[in-house]
Structure 1
């Protein structure tokens, strides 16, 4: 697989990567200024947060990113060192932040791995395996949290419009079904019968109305076969470490918000479980968001899911939440990405021509 450097750099042009960033910020600021309940008094509530809980949230966030870097190292059989793994995470999170959740940053992630010296098959395998493991976490965690919370996982419909309550559940089950089916198909293709999956794709695109996608289907089938071969022969400890890292990463992501809620409202153990569980449901719904980084969608659902615990502190808590989980990666990505592209490709080209 050849990399068209000029085409890649055009996509990652520092003069263009600000467009999705500004779009996401614009959506948030529009919601901010159009909300009549947002006043100077409400914004001042941010200073009522317990500093200890905010610090815990920050430490949990660092632990989550460390978990991401550790998983990258395990995926690559320690072929990538800590510094490279951290850069990959920053760029991957940035690409996810500037693309709609339904698209994600997986295509960019493959390119990043390849640029760091990982061959095509392994790069595809690492990204596909990461997507499968993350989705598998949702598929398994969602029914478990619904069982443990005894129906408290969705916000009280009485506190909002009945139609909204039913729509929320509809979007959840729709998202869950799509994720479950996708995970099942990709797991079968990657781990069981990659060649059979390619055959199926070619047969499907042989139909009259799907022929225009046959070339892409053939390419995607080849990629699946390459990725599958890159995962053959892995030891049991490899899979155990990746699974444990995935659980740790997502648990830390959710516990960060638990800490932020605790900063304004003391939670009981059962309430902590409900807050944690609702995040699983909220993230599944957000996965079909059409906006970059789920901007607007995330803030809206945050209010619906956690208002009963936070009350007047809901808005300032959502600011904290996005400041710690979304906006840092926009800033870090905008700083690291142009320099990374130039250092990986264009400096090499200059040396080759000198």
Structure 2
């Protein structure tokens, strides 16, 4: 981000900012919080409202935080599963809920790909300045997302036993073998809860898919809103490019996509910004709103779970020590 600002910033550029466009930044912040609300509502709906609203936000924020500090290809699903267990769900149920949530995202990606392909006929969705490499990379990304969505749908909706077999196979490995028995029990819970989710009415799937879609639409709208808060731009093309670059973010190998996502923003949205000096400013505003606010809130949520684990561990040790002291001091023990 600093590199982009250094390359694009020119003295006096702030004089060209129009105050009438500044409310766009406020709208972007509101949309960012709307994304969090839709994401939390999806988790709560998948738990059949067993999670309170506060707990749903904690799970979602810890998920986002972990995604922000790990490579995008890893994501925060493992942390979200852990957070669900701290909210009272067993590992199998937590895993099934998080897998179902990931599946809903994949279904949205599968819907987004044909939208981009059809739009590409009429709009320059992938900028020509990316060359053949950019177009081939996006095509491979589309194929990868569709393939992964198909595998997720098969594993979660059609044959959860396949997931169980893969997990059980992995825990036969020497380093993981000692956890094989408890993991086997949890995979049984996963399969059982997956079957329960499959038996839900169509309205359940439609509701959760709607919440997932709205969350992603808010995420996609943010770059366009930020750009429009600085300068006029082609709204439709900006939104389509935002969709394309958000899909590309999924394969960034750096923590939170740092470095890569800023570059993609400049490549996809930069040509739509007339004043090149505003590119770095747009990236800065967008990353603060979409990334650093989430990191701050997510850090608090994740720390809450870590502190709770520490307290539980200390409590267990204290109970064990008191039980041991009681056994030692009992007459039977003395005799």
Q: What is the TM-score normalised by the length of structure 2?
A: 0.82
- How many angstroms does 1:257 deviate by? 2.2
| Deviant stretches of 4+, over 6 Å | 200-203, 210-218
Q: Deviations over 1:225-252 (max 9, x none)?
A: 3552352432222111101111111111
* 1:124–1:226 CA contact under 8 A, matched in 2: no
The aligned counterpart of 1:63 is 34
* Distance in structure 1 (CA, Å) of the matches to 2:140 and 2:49: 38
* Distance in structure 1 (CA, Å) of the matches to 2:301 and 2:162: 40
The aligned counterpart of 1:131 is 102
1:331 correspondence with 2:302? no
* Distance in structure 1 (CA, Å) of the matches to 2:279 and 2:213: 27
Q: Per the alignment, do residues 230 and 97 of structure 1 end up closer, same or farther by CA in structure 2, a change over 3 Å counting?
A: farther
* Distance in structure 1 (CA, Å) of the matches to 2:195 and 2:54: 27
- How many angstroms does 1:145 deviate by? 3.3
Secondary structure of the structure 1 residue equivalent to 2:283: helix
Deviates most, 318-327 or 226-235: 226-235
* Distance in structure 2 (CA, Å) of the matches to 1:217 and 1:180: 32
Choose the corresponding residue for 2:217, options 251, 259, 262: 251
* Distance in structure 2 (CA, Å) of the matches to 1:113 and 1:245: 19
Choose the corresponding residue for 2:286, options 311, 321, 346: 321
Q: Per the alignment, do residues 197 and 73 of structure 1 end up closer, same or farther by CA in structure 2, a change over 3 Å counting?
A: closer
* Distance in structure 2 (CA, Å) of the matches to 1:246 and 1:193: 23
TM alignment of 1:14-93, pairs within 5 A: 28-29=1-2, 31-32=3-4, 35-42=6-13, 44=14, 47-48=17-18, 50-93=21-64
The aligned counterpart of 2:311 is 347
The aligned counterpart of 2:330 is none
The aligned counterpart of 1:17 is none
The aligned counterpart of 1:21 is none
TM alignment of 1:200-215, pairs within 5 A: none
- How many angstroms does 1:149 deviate by? 5.2
* Distance in structure 2 (CA, Å) of the matches to 1:232 and 1:307: 44
* Distance in structure 2 (CA, Å) of the matches to 1:45 and 1:253: 29
TM alignment of 1:304-315, pairs within 5 A: 304-311=267-274, 312=276, 313-315=278-280
* 2:40–2:56 CA contact under 8 A, matched in 1: yes
* Distance in structure 1 (CA, Å) of the matches to 2:76 and 2:248: 18
* Distance in structure 1 (CA, Å) of the matches to 2:312 and 2:180: 33
Q: Per the alignment, do residues 196 and 88 of structure 1 end up closer, same or farther by CA in structure 2, a change over 3 Å counting?
A: closer
1:280 correspondence with 2:251? no
* Distance in structure 1 (CA, Å) of the matches to 2:106 and 2:166: 23
* Distance in structure 1 (CA, Å) of the matches to 2:242 and 2:115: 13
Q: Per the alignment, do residues 229 and 172 of structure 1 end up closer, same or farther by CA in structure 2, a change over 3 Å counting?
A: same
Q: Per the alignment, do residues 338 and 202 of structure 1 end up closer, same or farther by CA in structure 2, a change over 3 Å counting?
A: closer
TM alignment of 1:207-226, pairs within 5 A: 222=187, 225-226=191-192
* Distance in structure 2 (CA, Å) of the matches to 1:168 and 1:176: 12
- How many angstroms does 1:214 deviate by? 9.8
Q: Per the alignment, do residues 115 and 202 of structure 1 end up closer, same or farther by CA in structure 2, a change over 3 Å counting?
A: closer
* Distance in structure 2 (CA, Å) of the matches to 1:201 and 1:85: 27
* Distance in structure 2 (CA, Å) of the matches to 1:213 and 1:183: 30
- How many angstroms does 1:38 deviate by? 3.3
In structure 1, runs of 5+ residues without a counterpart are 1-27
* Distance in structure 2 (CA, Å) of the matches to 1:202 and 1:110: 18
Structure of larger gyration radius = 2
Q: Deviations over 1:165-208 (max 9, x none)?
A: 211122212222222111111211111122256557889x8xxx
* Distance in structure 1 (CA, Å) of the matches to 2:206 and 2:288: 32
Secondary structure of the structure 1 residue equivalent to 2:251: coil
* Distance in structure 2 (CA, Å) of the matches to 1:259 and 1:85: 27
